[in-house]
Each structure stands twice: as C-alpha cells, then as structure tokens.
Amino acid sequence: MSTTDAPAPAAETTKRSGALELSGRQNLIVAALVLTLAALAPFLFDEAGDIMNNMVLAAAYVVMALGLNIIVGFAGLLDLGYVAFFAIGAYTVGYFASGFWSNVNNEEGFSLGVGKPASELPGFHFNFLIILVLAVIATTIAGMLIGLPTLRLRGDYIAIVTLAFGEIIGRVAINGDEVNIFGGSLTAGRQGVTPVDKIDPPFVDRFLALNLRPWYWFALAMVILVLFVNFRLRDSRLGRAWIALREDEVAAASMGVPLVKTKLLAYGTGAAFGGMSGAFLASYLNTVNADQFQFAFSIFILAMIILGGLGSIWGVVLGAVVLSVINNHLIPNVFNTWPGKVGLDFDLTELSFGIFGFLLVIMMVLRPEGLLPERRRQLELEEGVGTDEAVYEARMP
Amino acid sequence: MEAASVPAPRPSPGDTFRKLVGSFGLIAVLLILPIVFAVDDLKDEGDLSRLANNIVDGLSNGAIWALVAIGYTLVYGIIELINFAHGEVFMIGSFVTAWFFGVIGLTATTGAVGLVLGIAATLIVAMILPSTMNAMIERVAYRPLRNAPKLAPLITAVGFSFILQNVGLLWQGGSPRSVEDIIDSQKDLITFGDVIITRGDVLAVGVTIPLVLLMTAFIARSRLGKAMRATAQDPEAARLMGINVDTTISATFLLGGALAGAAGLIYVLYQTQIWYFQGFTAGLIAFTAAVMGGIGNIKGAVLGGFIIGMIQQMIDNREDVGIFQMGPAWTPVYVFAYLVLIMVFKPSGLLGEQTREAG
C-alpha cells in the first residue's frame, strides 16, 4: 500500500459500514415497536396452527441464539458444543416435571406448586418457574465447568474441547438408559422422557397443546428478559471486558481485565440462556429425547448468530427468526417441492443441514459481519483483528 | 535424580513432580486403561488372549485413524486450521471405493490376480478423487479467508463438513449400507496361540505402512516437501524465498486428501459398510489421534492413530469394567474424554507439536 492512500481506509470504513448503530433511546423505541408487534401477532393466526407453532419455536431459538451470542459474539470464544446446555435444561424438566423418577416417595410422587393432574402422578412435579430457576443454576454451573478447562487454550482448541463436551453429553444422554442410578436409569435414551408436564404458571390456566398462544407469550417474555440482559450486559463493565478480550486477549489482560472471571462469566451467562430455552422446549415439545442433542443443533444455533452478525444483538434476533423460518417452514413446505419440479426425487428436509452448512460458508466468505453487523465487529474484521490471532502475532517480530 | 549436582537453585519436590508428570503423565494415563483391562481379563478368563486380540485388531483400526490423522496434522502444521471437513473427505473416499468396486465389477468370486489389480486400481481412484476435492475445498472456503480472524476458516470448515455429509446422504441414502466383503477380511491368516491375525489386519497395515513411508520420504526429500516444511515454519519467509505458498498449501491438501481416501478404502474392505455419518466420528477420533501424537507432527499422528485404534478396540469389546460402562456405544465418550484431557493438560502431545505457535 502506498503512503498516499494510507488515511483513506479509515474514512472509507466509516462511510461504508452499513452497521446498525442505535443510540440508547432509538434502541428502546425499536425494541418497543418490534416486541409490541410480536406480542400482538398471535391474534392474526390460528391458535393451534403451523404458523403459531413456528413462532413459538422461533422465539425459543432466539433465546438460545442470544445466549450463544454472549459466548461467541461478545467474548469471542467459539463454542461448538452449545447443545450441551439445551440437553441439561431439557433434562432438568425431564427429571423434575415428569413421571421419570416414578419410584420417588413410594411411587406416589412429589409435587411442588403444580395443579391437579400432575400433582397426583408419580415422579417429581415441580412448578415450571421453579424448574426454570433450577435449569438456569444447573446450566450456569455446567457452563463454567466446561469453560474451566478451556481457559488456557487457544481459540480453535476451545472450539474442539467444547465440541467434545457437547458430544460427550449427547452420547451419555443416548446411552444413559443403560446406567442405573437411584433405582432408575440416568436418562431415557432414544425413547425419551414423555409425557412432560405442561407449563402451569401461577394465576393463569395450565398451558394446553391446543392453544399455542400462551406458550408463545411465555417464550416472548423470555426473549424480552434475555434481550434486556443482553443489552445491559453489553453496555456494562463486563460487556466491555468481553469485547476487549475478543479483540486482544493480551492487551485486555495487561489493562487489568481479569481473564478467568470474565471468560467464566461469559460461559455461565450464555449457558444459562441455553438452559432456559432448553427447559421451555422440553415442556413445549412434550419430550426429552436424546436424539435432539446432536452436534448439528449446535451448528444450527451457530449459523443463526453468524447469519445475523456475531455480537450484534438485533442481528442475532433476525438470524434466529430467519433460520427458524427456513428450517420449519420454507424447507419442508416451499423448497421441498422444487426437486420434484425439476424431475429429481429426494426429500429436501433431510438436507437441511447441508443448506445451513452452505449458508455458513457463503456468509463467512462473502459477508462475515452478518446481515445486521455490529460496527465494532465489522471494523475488527476489516482490520483483521482476530479472536486470538493477535496473541500469537504479537510474538512475531 | 541428584539435585545437588545441578548448579541451578535446588528444585523443590513439587517442581520435580511436575516435571515428571509433564513428561510421563500422558504415557501413564494411556497405560491405565490396558492395565485395568489386563487385570480384568485375568480375573475373568485367566489369560490375556482377549487383550492381545484387541491389540491386533486395534492396529488395523489404528492404521485407518493414522492415515486420516496425518491429513489433520499436515494441514494444521501448515496453516494452523483444524480442517473440520477432513473426516468427510475420508467418508467420500469410502463411497468412491464402494462405487468403483461396482464399476469394475470386483466381487468375492474374482480371482486373486484380478483382486489385487482391482484393489490397486481402486486405491488410485479412491486417492485421487477425495484429494482433488480436498484441494478444491481449500480453494473455495479457506484461501479467501487466509487473512480473516482465525475462527472464520474453522467455521467454513464446519459448514463444508455438513455439505459433504449431505452429498453422502444423497449419494448412498440415510442408513448404513453394507458392502460385499470381497477379500473375506475376517479369514484367519496367521495364528499365534489364541491371537488371530486376519486378512483384513494384514491388508490394513500392509497398505498403510508403505503409504506413510512414501509420504515421509516425499516430505523429507522432494522439492515440494521442502517447500511444505518451509511454509509450515514461516509462510512469510517462505514467500520471500520464492516459494509459491498457495501452491504449496494446495499440495498439502492434496496429500492429506489422498491419504484420507486410502483410509476410506481400507475402511470399506475392513468394516464392509459405509454410512454418510461415518466421517464425523472418524474425523474426531483421528483428530484426537493427531493431538495425542502432537499436532503438526507426522510421526506423532501415526503413533496416536495406532494408540487410539487399540484403545477403541479394547473398549468396544467389553461390556463394563467396575462401574464404568463400555462397549461400542460408549467408545466415543472415552475417546472425547481423552481429547479434552490431552488438549487441556498436555496440548503438545506425546512427541511434541511442530507448528509455528509451538516453535
């Protein structure tokens, strides 16, 4: 590069960046608008139709994606085993809101804060709000435990270690029906724990499978909570520490950012949201099946945040909604007719993960900053500041 | 060790202990499992024949993992990327093998000469196609990201892994498909007492060893091999010395892909089944092998491959030991646990890393 155009890139970047940069008040207005529309949307659709079902799932995925965004987007720790937290959250429901531990209390069951049919059945039956708290506690601890061994590792090793943990938890879930523990088995394996108690919040009727609106509003409430936490964290001391860590670990450490605490908090917080959403999905899908906890699910969530824009909160929400619509509506109902039209015979739903893989490649090569990029991240990408590359580059002369 | 003879400050017992654990800890951990199994076998059956057979079968499995692991280690050594799609390249190698057997009409009834020629021809095809594909993936998905953050090519690698899995799914369907056992791989060839060496074992090791020797000679002697080593050490300096770094990296992917394709052929002949999902687990197992030996280190990858192969075979063939469940369904759990333990406590592996970061 010649010296004459040296100052140009900076000016160009500021001009070129189509990054979404909102002030605090604009953000509030956008949030209020989007969420009001989202809250009113169910009245437009059939209360037990496909569209409602997809909306509930999309909201649950938004919660998960925002959780993973804290780990990968904010703190820059590539976690390929996020499904572990889905599994742990779901099994919290399986253990404490179903007939899974049927031998408890002389096969009469033990219930806490739940209404009639569930309170008379064998097994533990806790109120869903209690379970949500339990799931958050369990996944936070699990997140930190999984994060602990990765503290000293470089970026790509972190990815593989988290992937290995995710796989270990997935395999244990599948094989857990062979393990005897407390007079039962560890998991129900591929058969799944089913049925699972429906959400039974205080002051409101128990949620039903035939009316999906309450489920949707409950998920939306989780989204609002998680969005709030995300924005507050991002703009906090901790959030700035995460971003500093992502940009340059050595520089961050020498500026006094406590690496261990900061990293563990990222893992813990991100995991907690995964657990929340996992518990919700278990109750909503009415099963805790070991086949749900595959590596592909981690990539599904990762694709959401990469599509939307790593670190960009609104981008991640958009990415989660878009991928959820692609996965649950467009692929099975729209794209799936295309192979037939051109004379091919295969089921496109089987190939959904190939499509997501393709999306990952395309996004990373053509638009790594995502659909709604975060400006900071975009600058990092253009300058070539890596997650931990800088650490090693710094040692080179 | 006599501490007094060292002029440096006296090492405390803690330091000596740490040093010992550093050098021998991994070896000790790796030895625990066979020892536990040996005790268990002696208790149950009175002899060690099961363990010995596991070791023999494990070497054949290990030959497959070694070939795949070399691909990981070569690529990591040169561009510091975990080529996540490498397991799928191995899978495609298997699929090409099964397809080509059909094309040239190789069956169990083919005569000995035809069989040897046919397998040799298949080996060439099964090495060329996956290796070309591997180099093409590098061109499309990794080269444009060479100056991007390090995690970007890892993400595209994961993406390509899924794309290739779905190619396999479209090609051969969603469930495991069995392939004709054309060499009668389980037939005994040599027996030492209770220890049986089958045709499959001989084939696996017999294909692997020459390939590995050929490749090490290529890297040590040839001009391109020298360029590869130079690029692995310092791409910038290599470029300044007139080495075409992009071509060299492509060559590395070709080489890794060819070995993965050969592993795919052995897998088909030895396991006699193919599945679109075989590459995912195989890839992780082989990656564990590469890390165990010391990533970037070719000898290490081969050693790690054989060790992992034996460990896997031992766990596969047991129901449970004490409170620990064993068997094929649990094997990945143990292998991944090894992966985590090695990466966390001894990331340089048994023989030491040979990468830019380590060096």
Residue A385 pLDDT grade (very low, low, confident, very high; cuts 50, 70, 90)? low
Of B140, B330, B340, the CB nearest to A149: B340
C-alpha–C-alpha distance, residues B333 and B351, integer Å: 24
Q: What is the pLDDT of residue B74?
A: 94
- B322 at A interface, C-beta within 8 A: no
- A175 at B interface, C-beta within 8 A: yes
pLDDT digits (tens, 9 = 90+) for A60-97: 999 999 999 999 999 999 999 999 999 999 999 999 98
pLDDT digits (tens, 9 = 90+) for A341-358: 777 777 777 888 888 999
C-alpha–C-alpha distance, residues B122 and B179, integer Å: 14
Residues from chain B that touch A171, judged by Cβ atoms under 8 A, are 329-330, 332-333, 336
> Would you state the structure tokens that stand for residue B309, as one six-digit string?
């192969």
Question: Among residues 91-150 of chain B, which lie with CB inside 8 Å of chain A?
Answer: 140-141, 144-145, 147-150
Q: What is the pLDDT of residue A13?
A: 42
8 A C-beta contact, residue B240 and residue B251: no
> Would you state the structure tokens that stand for residue A369, as one six-digit string?
């900053």
Assess whether pLDDT exceeds 80 at residue A242.
yes
Q: What is the pLDDT of residue A384?
A: 57
Assess whether pLDDT exceeds 80 at residue A340.
no
One-letter identity of residue A221: A
Residues from chain A that touch B321, judged by Cβ atoms under 8 A, are none
Assess whether pLDDT exceeds 90 at residue A99.
no
Question: Among residues 225-284 of chain B, which lie with CB inside 8 Å of chain A?
Answer: 280, 284
Q: What is the pLDDT of residue A389?
A: 44
Assess whether pLDDT exceeds 50 at residue A391.
no
Q: How many CA atoms lie within 13 A of A37 on its CB side?
A: 5
Tens place of pLDDT for every residue, chain B, 359 residues?
444 455 556 667 777 777 777 778 888 888 888 888 888 888 887 788 888 888 988 999 999 999 999 999 999 999 889 999 999 999 999 999 999 999 998 888 888 888 899 999 999 999 999 999 999 999 999 999 988 888 889 999 999 999 999 999 999 888 899 988 888 878 888 888 788 888 889 999 999 999 999 999 999 999 999 999 999 988 889 999 999 999 999 999 999 999 999 999 999 999 899 999 999 999 999 999 999 999 889 999 999 999 999 999 999 888 877 778 888 889 999 999 999 998 888 888 888 877 765 54
- A361 at B interface, C-beta within 8 A: yes
Q: What is the pLDDT of residue A219?
A: 94
Q: What is the pLDDT of residue A166?
A: 93
For tokens 């393990």, what's the residue? A179
Q: What is the pLDDT of residue A383?
A: 66
Assess whether pLDDT exceeds 80 at residue A21.
no
Q: B152: nearest CA in chain A?
A: A364
Q: Which of B99, B97, B76 is nearest to B86 (CA)?
A: B76
Of A346, A361, A386, the CB nearest to B149: A386
Please tell me the least confidently modeled range out of A170-184, A290-304, A378-392, B120-134.
Answer: A378-392
pLDDT digits (tens, 9 = 90+) for A300-335: 999 999 999 988 999 999 999 999 999 988 888 888
Q: B143: nearest CA in chain A?
A: A365
Q: B280: nearest CA in chain A?
A: A295
C-alpha–C-alpha distance, residues B231 and B248, integer Å: 8
Instruction: For B132, list phi and psi in degrees, rounded to 5.
Output: -60, -45
- A137 at B interface, C-beta within 8 A: no
Residues from chain B that touch A346, judged by Cβ atoms under 8 A, are 170
